[in-house]
Amino acid sequence: MDLTGKTALVAGASSGIGKACAEALIERGARVALLARRGDVVDNIVDQLGENALAIRCDVSDERSVSAAVSRAWSELDGLDFAIHAAGIITPARIEDLTPEIWRRHIDVNLSGAFYVMRDCGLRMREQGRGSIVTIGSDLSFKGLECYAHYCASKAGLAGLTKAFALELAPVVRVNCVCPGPVDTPMMDSELVWFGGTKEARDGFISNTPLKRFASPAEIANFIVFVAAEASFATGSILSTDGGTTAR
């Protein structure tokens, strides 16, 4: 897939799937704006990726921060062909420990952050006459799980938000949601710490995945880039790449 001459924005590009998406896009020739709250981290990534990468500090939970970041990316890249929202957090909590602060933080980042990025990019793309947006959901967009009520709600909401945006931005802009299962990322590492951080905890996640392994960030990113750039008749789709966790 040759994306030379194409431009993209990736929110949540400092690690995990977002970082892998930025790398995959640049490997294919695209110029990419990497948005992340941790400016020093994304600066280092951009130094490694070279001249086709642009670092922009952005807190996706802050509407004004997103608006400024999208405006800068749009100006410096002369428009956007693709936008990928990969920013997300996950902190397991039993319902007796699920404080309003934990709840709000997950909704603010995982759902409201996606809305801000999708709205700012989508409206601009519709006006320019082309564009493709991909959000990153989860296998928990489709099912519940103990200790994840807040995360499940944010990701199920993201699936609905994606469908609604797809209808409103059609036929000019495509909007789809890719839903991974367990992926070997720093976010997964933080989950395992909550469950004890042991090999047994990791093995437990793997044993519940029909393919009996975690995905790599790169293989999820490759699918996301395909959906963004090549799946030309897909919009409003909620696409599982979960190793079979939702097949049961």
**Is 116 considered catalytic here?**
no
**HSE-CB of 205 using CA atoms within 13 angstroms:** 22
Beta carbons of 20 and 220 less than 8 angstroms apart:
yes
* Residue 50 DSSP symbol: -
Instruction: Specify the DSSP class assigned to residue 247.
Output: -
Distance of alpha carbon 185 from alpha carbon 188, whole angstroms: 5
Q: What's the residue count for the chain? A: 248
Instruction: Write out the DSSP string of 89-129.
Output: ------GGG--HHHHHHHIIIIIIHHHHHHHHHHHHHHHHT
The residues facing 220 across adjacent strands are: none
**Please, how many CA atoms are within 13 Å of residue 78, restricted to the half-sphere of its CB?**
4
Selected catalytic residue, list 74, 151, 165, 223: 151
* Beta-ladder partners of 136: 178
Rounded distance between C-alpha atoms, residue 118 and residue 126, angstroms = 11
Show which residues are catalytic: 151
